[in-house]
Amino acid sequence: MSDAAVLRRVVIADDDPDIRALMVIAAERAGVEIAASVDNGQAVLDAIEPGDIDLIVLDISMPGMSGLEVVDRMRAESRFDSTRILIVSASVQMLTDQASVEVRSDRFIVKPFSPRQLAATITEMLEGSGRS
């Protein structure tokens, strides 16, 4: 089976159900399998535990554990080195701490976003092989 035929697995995480639904639509438009669609950081960690996730589309501001805390926990474990991370947030903190977000994640998109833009970004990120 060629790489083009491999269905990529994605976890979507945002505490706002409407935004999460748009993220799912965008990911489906990009032709990926939605492994999980969750509303908090701990649920993201639970969803990626098997280690077969290609990309996480992750909001920063979530109840309990923030998206950045999720990223920090993932980056501390080498088994998640090939899992790509796309942060999507309207957080003012993200905008003022852009360098920190860029180091922690592979890419980020600022809300509001268009599903078309998000789908294109997901496709771009999954065309590469592993983290850059």
Q: How confident is the model at residue 98 (pLDDT cuts 50, 70, 90)?
A: low
Distance from C-alpha of 100 to C-alpha of 36, rounded to nearest angstrom: 26
pLDDT digits (tens, 9 = 90+) for 21-34: 999 999 999 999 99
pLDDT digits (tens, 9 = 90+) for 45-97: 999 999 899 999 999 889 899 898 999 999 999 999 999 999 988 865 555 55
How many residues are given for the chain?
132
Regarding the domain delimited by 3-119, which CATH topology (the fold level of the hierarchy) does it fall under? Rossmann fold (3.40.50)
Q: How confident is the model at residue 107 (pLDDT cuts 50, 70, 90)?
A: confident
Distance from C-alpha of 59 to C-alpha of 18, rounded to nearest angstrom: 13
- Give me the residue spans of the domains in the chain: 3-119
This prediction has a pTM of 0.86
Residue 87's H or E segment, with its range, is strand 84-89
Is residue 81 within 8 A of residue 106, CB to CB? The reply is no
